[in-house]
Structure 1
Amino acid sequence: MNKRDFLKSLAITSAAGITSIETLANRLGQFHDFPADKLATNEDYWSIIRSGYKLKGDYINLENGYYCFLPEQTLNRYLEKIKEINYQGSWYFRTVQWENKDKTAARLAQVFGGSPDELAITRNTTESLDIIISGYPWQKGDEAIYAHQDYGSIKNMFELAARRHGIINKIIDIPLHPENDEEIVKAYEVAITPQTKLIMLSHMINITGQILPVKKIAQMAHSYGVEVMVDGAHCIAHFDFKIDELDCDYYACSLHKWLSVPLGAGLLYAKKEHISKIWPLLAPYELDHSNIKNLNHTGTHPVATDLAINDALDYFEAIGAKRKEERLRYLQRYWSDQVRGLPRILLNTPIDPDRSCGIANVGIEGIEPNQMAKSLLEEYKIYTVGINYAGVYGCRITPNIYTSTAELDSFVKALKEMSQN
């Protein structure tokens, strides 16, 4: 039996039988020698993974970027943990709660980079970035740099810092279709002055999916004595990298996105040498920790979510970081390459495959983005989100690993019909 027939046979026999992460890992483990880029195009292989998702039949979901809901394998484990915490009650919170959270944070550091005393589990990207912005040792006249394309609530946090501390915010524009990395690095560099203290940049711009050259920007900024904070909301478990290899000073991510952790889990990384100067957003039980715990107090919260991170990591590792990255990039290019260059079609994501992965943005001349999203849902049963700010005019398209090329064919068909109308 050749590889394709073997995969097809496996997909058929597995469609209704993979109820646990262990079973999924065993099935997928048979293909560890298959190149990731070859598996990315094999619909039979990915149908195995699709079978683990309970999909709503009302529409094709191409808005996974907000929240990547859980496959049944991890959802079942999460529900078990909720029941277990409810059973153990206060005993759990007063005994093993912190030990378990520390172990989970240490595993996140092992998988995604950094050391355990530099990485904390927060509630989401916004909280993680706000901890740094609100606690930074600002002085009146200090400057911060960020982009128009950055996430709105984080820009608002810088505005609050300006009102409170008298800092100056300098806002730049990121080119939608840069010719090279240097063009992006230069956009930040020309805004730096002797008063600049901190640059915030998006690892992946959430409205377009463009991946920025974080390490090059960080190295440039450090040459001026400027620190770099990275909004990585869409990056962990989306494409393969290590946080500490980016050379940034602070990094934040939402684990409920591409790692598919239940809502209420985020990640904050801060270099050891910077932690002591950041004022905590909430006072910890014990003041003046020497590590990231000093910034990580949240009060009583749903601890089952923290525990579910381990299950999401088990699932992620069963699939493989590179396989997932290659599949997501393939899905994005599968639909975007079919409409690129067509009349009235506006692709707001760089064509260079290294500058994007699973997320892209597409618009249609003459159709307002929210109306475009409304038409896609009502006329074609395709769910997306309209984006119309910072020079981006279109719908953000975010498939996930369960998405099939047949579903994307429906999306391509819809785009072609709408653009010709």
Structure 2
Amino acid sequence: MNKRAFLKSLAFTSLASSASFKALSKTVEAYAHIPASELASDEDFWEKIRAGYRLKPDYINLENGYYCFIPQETLEAYIAWIREINYQGSWYFRTVQWENKDKTAARLANLFGGTPDEIAITRNATESLDTIISGYPWGKGDEAIFAHQDYGSIQNMFELVSRRYGVVNKIVDVPLHPKSDEEIVKAYEDAITPKTKLIMVSHMINITGQILPVKKICSMAKRYGVEVMLDGAHCIAHFDFKIDELGCDYYACSLHKWLSVPLGAGLLYVKKDKISKIWPLMAPYELDHPNIKNLNHTGTHPVATDLAINNAIDYYEKIGSKRKEERLRYLQFYWSDKVRDIPGIMVNTPSDHERSCGIANVGISGMDPGEMAKILMNKYKIYTVGINYAGVVGCRITPNIYTTPTELDVLVKALQEMAKSI
């Protein structure tokens, strides 16, 4: 089989050609006339979307933040890719593997921002962030800034470069309920000195769901000649933005979260003029690539996952970025607005609709978050995760587009009863 014929054969397994995807397309087309803000609460539409997921009946899953499992349309396409790669074997790896990966990276760039030679497909956000932190040209006494609320293992990578190179880490606090963007920007600005080289900022704080004013932080840092790396693990395909419009130098995301790609896919953006300064985490197949490929070699890897990114994008584009964002924000505020003013309940996420989307965190006064999560699961059949970290005490609640208000009513009732019991 020649290369062109093989690429055509792959097209037959694409998501867009499947019967289920055609049915999804008809559903979306039937509601296309309804604005995204109104469709967010149209349960007839979202019930049809829910039907495309295989959901466990044992509990209500409100822990989609760790891993947004994939809809059946994407899952079947992914399985087909695995079968096809297994059928083609080494032939695939030695012929069209890199061409297909480049096309997928280009599609990610077109959809989420940046140019194709600034976007690399990694295994997850952690790998993407660690690539930059470990490969940065640190010198003894250089300073890095990040927040107590940032992801723990990434803070540990900064600790490792501190031990290795003598980097000084300065840790700031992000307020749970900021009065203004400027309050957050100031927290980072006050930590800058002439020795500051890199600031890491969570685009969305993973434990609370707070969206930070990263554009303003990047603009501020630029005035001081300081580079910014954004941890966007939860952001791509969660709410709408373009990476290259944020003003950052580096961006990382896990595609297995809100884009609902099979496990093993992440994204790394490096601004074109910064690529050459980062030392590769692992040696590339060919040294000194002029583009981001210099930072993106991990050896033989599950290429079926790379191919399935396209199917996840097909699904995401069919649903529509604004429809999805509006649905996720609607679901979060549906439950959080009902419990914010109840005595004994603490919502650890800002009430301003622009400062969060689908994720929020809620605690019960005097109750350990681990115990809270256990009660929610054992008594109310709600699965979530307890968090007691960096001043955040509560359970992270992460619905997905298939979640129903009826399920969130169960959560609201549970929180009300738990608050009364303390």
TM-score, scaled relative to structure 1: 0.95
The answer to whether the 8 Å contact 2:203/2:214 transfers is yes
The answer to whether the 8 Å contact 1:250/1:268 transfers is yes
1:393 equivalent in structure 2: 393
2: CA distance between counterparts of 1:19 and 1:66?
30
The answer to whether the 8 Å contact 2:240/2:321 transfers is yes
TM-fit CA distance, 1:30: 2.6
2:92 equivalent in structure 1: 92
Which residue identity does 1:26 align to in structure 2? Answer: K
Matches within 5 A, 1:46-57: 46-57=46-57
The answer to whether the 8 Å contact 1:144/1:196 transfers is yes
The answer to whether 1:300 aligns with 2:300 is: yes
1:4 equivalent in structure 2: none
2: CA distance between counterparts of 1:238 and 1:418?
30
2:279 equivalent in structure 1: 279
TM-fit CA distance, 1:322: 0.3
1:212 equivalent in structure 2: 212
2: CA distance between counterparts of 1:39 and 1:163?
52
1:122 equivalent in structure 2: 122
Matches within 5 A, 1:23-62: 23-62=23-62
CA-based RMSD of the aligned residues comes to 0.8
TM-fit CA distance, 1:181: 0.3
TM-fit CA distance, 1:366: 1.3
TM-fit CA distance, 1:32: 2.2
Which residue identity does 1:139 align to in structure 2? Answer: G
1: CA distance between counterparts of 2:105 and 2:20?
23
1:78 equivalent in structure 2: 78
Which residue identity does 1:372 align to in structure 2? Answer: M
Q: SS where residue 176 of structure 2 aligns?
A: coil
1:6 equivalent in structure 2: none
1:241 equivalent in structure 2: 241
The superposition leaves residues 275-333 of structure 1 with CA deviations (integer Å, 9 ceiling, x where unpaired) of 00100001111111111101010100100000000000000000000000000000000
1:345 equivalent in structure 2: 345
The superposition leaves residues 172-206 of structure 1 with CA deviations (integer Å, 9 ceiling, x where unpaired) of 00000000100000000000000000000000000
Which residue identity does 1:298 align to in structure 2? Answer: T
2:106 equivalent in structure 1: 106
Q: SS where residue 373 of structure 2 aligns?
A: helix
Q: SS where residue 20 of structure 1 aligns?
A: helix
Which residue identity does 1:223 align to in structure 2? Answer: R
The answer to whether the 8 Å contact 2:117/2:291 transfers is yes
2:13 equivalent in structure 1: none
The answer to whether the 8 Å contact 1:21/1:314 transfers is no
2:193 equivalent in structure 1: 193
Q: SS where residue 276 of structure 1 aligns?
A: helix
Q: SS where residue 92 of structure 1 aligns?
A: helix
2: CA distance between counterparts of 1:152 and 1:164?
19
1:161 equivalent in structure 2: 161
Q: SS where residue 228 of structure 1 aligns?
A: strand
The answer to whether the 8 Å contact 2:31/2:45 transfers is no
The answer to whether the 8 Å contact 2:230/2:252 transfers is yes
Which residue identity does 1:159 align to in structure 2? Answer: E
1: CA distance between counterparts of 2:22 and 2:245?
31
The answer to whether the 8 Å contact 1:370/1:387 transfers is yes
Q: SS where residue 418 of structure 1 aligns?
A: helix
TM-fit CA distance, 1:19: 5.5
Matches within 5 A, 1:212-231: 212-231=212-231
1:267 equivalent in structure 2: 267
2: CA distance between counterparts of 1:127 and 1:397?
25
> How many residues are aligned here?
404
Which residue identity does 1:150 align to in structure 2? Answer: D
Give structure 1 stretches of 5+ with no counterpart: 1-17
2: CA distance between counterparts of 1:118 and 1:232?
16
2:11 equivalent in structure 1: none
1: CA distance between counterparts of 2:343 and 2:277?
53
Q: Structure 1 residues 83, 252: CA separation in 2 closer, same or farther (over 3 Å shift)?
A: same
2: CA distance between counterparts of 1:311 and 1:29?
19
1:364 equivalent in structure 2: 364
Q: SS where residue 394 of structure 1 aligns?
A: strand
The answer to whether the 8 Å contact 1:19/1:72 transfers is no
The answer to whether the 8 Å contact 2:332/2:399 transfers is yes
TM-fit CA distance, 1:31: 2.2
1: CA distance between counterparts of 2:230 and 2:339?
32
2: CA distance between counterparts of 1:242 and 1:317?
15
The answer to whether the 8 Å contact 1:243/1:251 transfers is yes
1: CA distance between counterparts of 2:29 and 2:77?
21
1: CA distance between counterparts of 2:225 and 2:327?
39
Give structure 2 stretches of 5+ with no counterpart: 1-17
The answer to whether the 8 Å contact 2:335/2:408 transfers is yes
The superposition leaves residues 253-291 of structure 1 with CA deviations (integer Å, 9 ceiling, x where unpaired) of 000000000000000000000000100001111111111
The answer to whether the 8 Å contact 1:386/1:396 transfers is yes
Which residue identity does 1:242 align to in structure 2? Answer: K
The answer to whether the 8 Å contact 1:29/1:318 transfers is no
Which residue identity does 1:27 align to in structure 2? Answer: T
TM-fit CA distance, 1:20: 2.0
Q: SS where residue 331 of structure 1 aligns?
A: helix
Which residue identity does 2:213 align to in structure 1? Answer: P
Matches within 5 A, 1:306-317: 306-317=306-317
Matches within 5 A, 1:244-255: 244-255=244-255
2: CA distance between counterparts of 1:22 and 1:70?
17
2: CA distance between counterparts of 1:115 and 1:23?
33
TM-fit CA distance, 1:25: 1.8
